[in-house]
């Protein structure tokens, strides 16, 4: 099962990276030109998030150095171990609903500190992939059409995020621990 999951991940990735240009070529578009246009945007995006990354990585780095996570772990050990969540992932789960770029910064710090092959790194990566910036999306989308009473949009979004977090911890413990 774990082997299968790894292989499936590989082939999905290859299908995207090779399959999409192939499809583009069949549709007779200039695939390399199209690639360059998108790649420029990708580069600009990664440059534009540098300030967010630095701001968040400094804050998380300070917290880590202070011994904060050991303390949280001692205090919350029963609750966290009930769902099997490492204390290091708490800040990521808390920041995620507010800002995607800030959460990227927190994830980057975790992956760097623990190494790309660690359980925490892979769990952080999965968490980023399965949760969203709920408050930001709700504010921008409803703000654009001047909706004031958002009803159940935020609770539903947060419930989805919570489900994403719990499922992430479960599946990652099974696949990567």
Partner 1 sequence: MLNAIWLAMMFLAVIVGVIQGRIDNVVRAITDSAKLGFEVSLGLAGIMALWLGIMNIASESGLVKRFARALQPLMRRLFPDIPVDDPAMGAMLLNIAANMLGLANAATPFGLQAMKELQRLNTHVHTASNSMCTFLAINTSSVQLIPATAIAFLAANGNLHPSSVIFSSLVATSVSTIVGITAVTQLAKLPIYRLKEADNL
Residues 64-103 that bind partner 1 (CB under 8 A): 64-68, 71, 91, 94-95, 98-100, 102
Cα angle 4, 86, 70 (rounded to 5 degrees) comes to 150
Binding marks (x or -) toward partner 1, 13..52, rule CB under 8 A? x--xx--xx-xx--x-x-x--xxxxxxxxxx-xxx-xx--
Nearest by Cα to 101 from 92, 110, 89, 114: 92
Closest residue by Cα to residue 127 from 177, 166, 73, 155: 166
**DSSP 8-state code for residue 150:** -
The stretch among 73-81, 82-90, 150-158 that binds partner 1 (CB under 8 A) is 150-158
**Tokens matching residue 83:** 């769902």
Q: Residue from 80, 90, 119, 176 that binds partner 1 (CB under 8 A)?
A: 176
Binding to partner 1 (CB under 8 A) within 111-130 occurs at 111-112, 115-117, 121-122, 124-130
Residue 115, helix vs strand vs coil:
coil
Distance CA 104, CA 137 (A): 16
When the beta carbons of 55 and 84 are compared against partner 1, the nearer one is 55
Examine residue 55 and tell whether it contacts partner 1 (CB under 8 A): yes
105 touches partner 1 by CB under 8 A: yes
């Amino acid at each position: 099962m774990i082997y299968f999951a790894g292989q499936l991940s590989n082939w999905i990735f290859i299908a995207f990276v090779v399959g999409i240009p192939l499809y583009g070529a069949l549709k007779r578009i200039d695939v390399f030109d199209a690639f360059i246009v998108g790649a420029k945007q990708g580069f600009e995006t990664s440059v534009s998030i540098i300030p967010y990354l630095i701001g968040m990585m400094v804050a998380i780095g300070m917290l880590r150095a202070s011994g904060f996570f050991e303390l949280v772990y001692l205090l919350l050990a029963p609750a966290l171990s009930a769902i099997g969540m490492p204390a290091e992932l708490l800040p990521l789960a808390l920041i995620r609903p507010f800002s995607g770029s800030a959460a990227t910064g927190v994830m980057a710090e975790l992956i760097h500190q623990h190494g790309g092959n660690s359980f925490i790194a892979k769990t952080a990566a999965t968490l980023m992939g399965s949760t969203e910036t709920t408050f930001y999306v709700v504010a921008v989308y409803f703000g654009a059409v001047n909706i004031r009473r958002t009803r159940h949009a935020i609770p539903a979004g947060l419930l989805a995020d919570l489900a994403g977090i719990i499922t992430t911890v479960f599946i990652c413990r099974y696949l990567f621990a």
